[in-house]
Amino acid sequence: AFWGSTTGLISVIFAPCPVIISFSGSDLIGTRNLSGRFTLGGIFNKIVSNLVSRMTAANITKSKEMKFILPKSAQFKTEVIPNGVNQKKFYPIKNSIAKKKLGLENCIDYILFFYTEGQHVKNNKMAMEVFRLIKDTRPNTEIIIATNIAHEDLIYYYNSCSVMIITSFHEGSNNSVKEAIACDLPIVTVNVGDVKERLENKRHCYVTNSYDILLFSN
C-alpha cells in the first residue's frame, strides 16, 4: 500500500495476504496549517499510521527521519527506500534551450518553487518573503511557482532556473530534490527530510537549519 493512515488501515484489515506499507511523508509526519502547526487531520493521520505500522508484514519509509518516527516495535521491520529518479528523463540541457521551450526570457534569473494551493507544509509564505528580498537586490529575478506541471515538462523547468528553493516545514524524501540534482540545478533548502544526505558534496547547494528569511535569502 502506497500510503499509511486510513489507506493502510483498510489494507491490513481486508487484504487476504501480507501487507507492506510505503509511508510517503504527511501520512506519517502529519499535515500543517498556514501557521505551521499540525492540523487535527494531520494528528489523526500520525496516530493511525503508527497503529498500522505495527500490523504490517513490513514497512518502507522514504527517509531515516521518518523511520524513527515509527514506534520501536515497527522500526525493526522497516526499510528506508526513497523513490528513485529516471536519469533518462532528467538530465542537464542548455539553459537557453529550456527557456525557449517554456517561452521564458534569457535575461531573467528564475527561482523554482514547488507549491500547490492549500499545500501549507511547503511554507509558501516564507518562500514568497525570500523572493521579495532577493528581488530588491536582484531586479532581474522572477519566481516560478511549479504546480500541476506535466511530468515530461519538468526537465525544462529544472534547466530553465538558476536555483530551486525549499522552505517546507517537513518532507519525506523530496522527489524534486533528486530530479533537480540530476539536472545539475543548485538547491537552497531548509533541513527537512533527507536533503542533507542528498546534497552532501553537491556543488552550489546549501542546507540550513534556520527558517530565518534573511539568512536563507543570502
Say if residues 113 and 92 touch (Cβ distance below 8 Å).
Answer: no
Q: What is the pLDDT of residue 106?
A: 94
* Selection from 25, 28, 66 nearest residue 44 by Cα: 28
Instruction: Show the cell assigned to 216.
Output: 536563507
CB atoms inside a 10 Å sphere around CB 125: 14
What are the DSSP calls for 143-206, one per residue? EEEE-S--GGGHHHHHHH-SEEEE--S--SS-HHHHHHHHTT--EEEES-TTHHHHHTT-TT-E
Q: What is the pLDDT of residue 206?
A: 93
- Rounded CA separation 3/72 (Å): 20
Cα 59–chain centre separation: 20
Q: What is the pLDDT of residue 160?
A: 97
* CA angle in degrees (0–180, nearest 5) for 90-31-190: 55
What parts of the chain have a pLDDT lower than 50?
none
Q: What is the pLDDT of residue 173?
A: 87
Q: What is the pLDDT of residue 14?
A: 94
Q: What would the pLDDT profile of 40-53 be if each residue is shown by its tens digit? A: 888 999 999 999 99
